[in-house]
A and B are shown apart, each in its own frame.
Chain A
Amino acid sequence: MGSFKFQTRLTIVYLALFFAVQGIIILAFYTTVYQNVDDQVKSQLSASAKTFTAIVQRRVGFLAERAKDQARQFEFRDTISTGDIPTIRSAMRNFSKRIEADLALVYGLDGEVLTAVGGNGFSDSSAPKISLELIEQVEAENYATRIMELDGHIYEVVFVPVLAPDLLATIAYGIELDQVEALNIRQLSSIDLEIAFLYEQDQMFRVASATSSPSSLSRFLEAGMKQNLGAVFKAEYRGEDYMFWRLGLEKSVGSESSESGIEALLYYSIDSALEPYLALALTLSGVLIVGLVMLIGGSVVLSRGVTRPLRRLASATHSIAEGDYHEVEAPTKGDEIADLTDSFNRMVGAVKERENEIVFQAFHDSETGFPNRNQFEKKLCLRIENKKKFCMVFAEVQQLSDLRGVLNHDHVNDLLREIGERIRQVSSVDVFRLSTESFAFITDDLDGADVMASLIINAFMTPFQITDIVIDASVKMGLTKFPDDSDDAAKLMQRASSALDNGRISPRGFAWYVPEEGTSYKQHLSMMSDLRVALTSGEVFFAYQPKLDLKSGRIKSAEALVRWISPTRGFVAPDEFIPFAEKTGDVRHLTEWGLKTAVTQAADWRSRGIEITVAVNLSTSDLMNANLPGQVLKLLRDHKLPPSFLKLEVTESAVMHDMTRALEVLNMLSAMGIVLSIDDYGTGYSSLSYLKKLPVSELKIDMSFVRNLAENEEDRILVRSTIELGHNLGLEITAEGVENQRSVDLLNEYGCDTLQGYFISKPVPASEFEAFLSSTKYR
């Protein structure tokens, strides 16, 4: 198939579009939600950081106020001024408990620790000193705060001066930023964030305390420190995405100079922030899946709605191709499919109609409406298959070409229809129009066929009336028998044509097929091909029959008669091959050969002092050949033969076949100075009227009139009157078939100009002809 089916393609396109749109939606959703959550977490962390700072500041402020109060107490100042460390320490312990501090320190004016209390058990000596700058700041601003890391604990420490009124000492109270503190701060946040307090040591962040699992955070930070972490960063922690917010706290007391710092780390799991969106994502996924299912279903239904009727149309076209015309029902109304189905049905109807028309035309004659040759052949085949005896008749309308000259086209068709109808009425069987001029029918009544044929001929005694014109028409018929004549349709038809040929000349107007007559077409064809070879190989030659000029008593001319002695066929009579050569057109080659041979021979003789005019017979098709005069002229010129040495003989029927064209050729030949003669005069039309039109100068009376001239009175009258008539028309008369002295005498008496016949000489080859000339008395 190569390409996808429409349905699949449609579904794929829909799916692709769906996925593209949904992809964009999901991407937008994901981006928006993620960005949103990101921003939310960030802002929450930021808010929490601010809260954290505020809380720490408030606590420190509170602590500072308390510490200030304490430092102002006269008794306390008194105690400090005594420098009595145990007393001072106990006072500090007492106060630190009172103000809930985790750490209490007293510093001397030089920043040395005077005493230290609390702070997860560090001693006076291990507690960090403070700088003079800090003391100065404390004195100037009345308090100061610092973040301190002591032994892994982070304290927010407030420093307050003890003034008396000059600075006596600096006291410090600290609250530890421990897990409890972290949890307290977390409680104030709207999200469940995590807080850790970190301090830096050896360039590593250590976790002082955290809301949860400080050890895992510590490990995470250890790994994370390798990268340079920003103030806000995202990282995977404990298998979830976390957002971290680093909040730098004030610098430690102990490490004032170094860059190491103490930080609060606020972090929150983005995944848990995304949790509320999970339901939304699930809903969206659900919508996607439902949408997908609906889309697939919908596109399948839709495409089926399109493809099903299309498939139905496709299968309908298949059945139409097989000749089954049926209409397709439209599945819906008013849409494109319905339109298409409608058009399709109309097309089916039109095709059906046209096919019927074509079928009718294929089997009927358009001019007369009779079933035509196709149908006849079909019927003939059926009858042959039946193997029952029947008689097939061809009936040819006579002189139709003449009638066409009188009647117009429609009238001819009307006439033909009438003729066909008349045949049908008489034969009472279906009549078919076989060709322009012929009809055919088949009858089972073999015995009555003769009578039927006669009846048909008789039926044409009544003239036809076409509009106002009364027309006489006649038919000639050829009859064949199945299976006696042939059991093959084509052969049978050939036999019928052959019978028709006989019928034409039969006085009854019809004839049965006579088996011997038919020389097979194939035989003729092979003869023709042999003839073509024979023309060049010398098998074909001319025999020359002398013609005696009575006035001079000399042989002045000769008729060239073709002879064919084939090595395989033996002697082939001209009557056997010339008519067929005329049919196949091979006579053209024969004529070419004949003219050339005759002219060559005449020229040869002339060069040798033998002045003989050579006569060559032309066929019907030669007279239709407008190039003939040119060819003849060329030959004469080539051989420098004067035209008077060439005579061309034509038969009446050859001229009558198409007189107009024949006249053109004859006139041209005559104009060239060639003598033309009418051959076989008396056998054809023998109409004197056309003789006037022909540019001939000689008439040759057919030998059938001359042969029995001595015995037959009628022939004598005919010959004598013909000679007289011819002479009156200015024609020379040649008599053929002169076989005895009596005929010579009679013809001489009648004034005949030239004699030709066995009495003088039979046709002989050129050499013998020359010998004859040298020996004869007619020389």
Chain B
Amino acid sequence: MRYFLMMHLTCLWVLLTISTPIFGSEFHVSVVDGKANSVENAVISLRPLFESAMPSADNPELQMRQEGALFAPFVLPVKQGSTVSFPNFDEFRHHVYSFSKAKRFELRLYGQDESKKIHFDTPGAVALGCNIHDNMLAYIYVTPHPFFAKTAKNGVVKFANIPPGNYEIYAWHPDLKGKKEKKITSFIVSEGNNRTDITLELRRVRKKQLAPAEDDYN
């Protein structure tokens, strides 16, 4: 029985090792608020403080969907220079806009048939709204850093296959007090598993996308 268990663990380790192509480091960041509650939708970005080969700038198709008079996702982290499409899945039109400094834009009334795309080259948070649906709210966070991700419901974000070394860590959240990212100036990511906890001071009143008025569905 012990033998079997040993075998099993060994196999798991082998598998993990194999799946990590070049780098060997994994980094878990757990985000909590002042009251030690897990914080979802926090965007963590890492800026390596060493020269390294940057991962290829593959641009997956980024979408900020409008569906059921709601934006989805609520927070969308994108790499600086990315283009985000705004597909409308509703039967009615939307008028998406942003007055954020990082990107001011306005997608005037458009329907399902039209596909709108916006290019984001300035880092920062872009608050999205719909001029005809006040309840709709979403954020696109534009980051210049190579590694970024947003926390899941449990407040944890996982970075896999990042090169070990010293990093600056940036944390942002729509409810972050002061509207500035939180910055951790130095964090050494070593080989293997790393983890850190980041506490964000969030506003008492959280921003959220409210459900639309019922009429809006029809």
- Name the residue of chain A whose CB is nearest to the CB of B125: A166
Per-residue B-contact encoding for A155-182, CB less than 8 Å = 1, 0 else: 0000000011110100000000000000
Q: Using CB atoms and an 8 Å cutoff, list the residues of chain B in contact with chain A.
A: 97-100, 104, 127-131, 134, 136-137, 139, 174, 179, 203-205, 207
**Which chain B positions have C-beta within 8 A of A72?**
134
**Which chain B positions have C-beta within 8 A of A77?**
99
Given A72-B134, A81-B99, A164 and B203 touching (CB < 8 A)? no
Given A81-B99, A109-B179, A165 and B205 touching (CB < 8 A)? no
Q: Bound complex: CA of A74 vs CA of B139, how far in Å?
A: 19
Main secondary structure of the interface of A (DSSP, over half): helix
**Which chain B positions have C-beta within 8 A of A164?**
97-99, 127, 129
Cβ-defined contact, B100 with A166, below 8 A: yes
- Name the residue of chain A whose CB is nearest to the CB of B137: A165
**Which chain B positions have C-beta within 8 A of A241?**
none
- Some 9 contacts from A to B, beta carbons below 8 A apart, are A81-B104, A136-B205, A140-B204, A164-B97, A164-B127, A166-B129, A166-B137, A166-B139, A166-B207
**Which chain B positions have C-beta within 8 A of A78?**
99
Per-residue B-contact encoding for A109-148, CB less than 8 Å = 1, 0 else: 1000000000000000000000000001001100000000
Instruction: Count A interface residues, CB 8 Å.
Output: 15
Q: Bound complex: CA of A78 vs CA of B104, how far in Å?
A: 10
Most buried by B among A80, A164, A165: A165
Cβ-defined contact, A74 with B203, below 8 A: no
Cβ-defined contact, A165 with B128, below 8 A: yes
- Name the residue of chain A whose CB is nearest to the CB of B209: A165
User: What is the distance, in angstroms, from B34's C-beta to the closest C-beta of chain A?
Assistant: 14
**Which chain A positions have C-beta within 8 A of B129?**
163-166
Cβ-defined contact, A139 with B205, below 8 A: yes
**Which chain B positions have C-beta within 8 A of A81?**
99, 104
Cβ-defined contact, A136 with B99, below 8 A: no
Which 10 A-B residue pairs are closest in the complex by CB-CB distance? A165-B129, A166-B127, A81-B99, A140-B205, A164-B99, A165-B137, A74-B131, A165-B127, A136-B205, A139-B205
**Which chain A positions have C-beta within 8 A of B98?**
164
**Which chain A positions have C-beta within 8 A of B130?**
165
Q: Bound complex: CA of A74 vs CA of B96, how far in Å?
A: 11
**Which chain B positions have C-beta within 8 A of A166?**
100, 127, 129, 137, 139, 174, 207
Q: Bound complex: CA of A140 vs CA of B98, how far in Å?
A: 21
- Name the residue of chain A whose CB is nearest to the CB of B71: A165
Beyond A81-B99, A165-B134, A166-B207, 5 additional pairs, beta carbon < 8 A:
A74-B97, A78-B99, A165-B128, A165-B129, A166-B129
**Which chain B positions have C-beta within 8 A of A165?**
127-130, 134, 136-137
Q: Which of A74-116 contact B (CB under 8 A)?
A: 74, 77-78, 80-81, 109
Q: Bound complex: CA of A638 vs CA of B160, how far in Å?
A: 177
User: What is the distance, in angstroms, from A304's C-beta to the closest C-beta of chain B?
Assistant: 94
Q: Which of A224-254 contact B (CB under 8 A)?
A: none
User: What is the distance, in angstroms, from B76's C-beta to the closest C-beta of chain A?
Assistant: 15
User: What is the distance, in angstroms, from A68's C-beta to the closest C-beta of chain B?
Assistant: 10
**Which chain B positions have C-beta within 8 A of A139?**
205
Q: Bound complex: CA of A163 vs CA of B131, how far in Å?
A: 11
- Name the residue of chain A whose CB is nearest to the CB of B179: A109
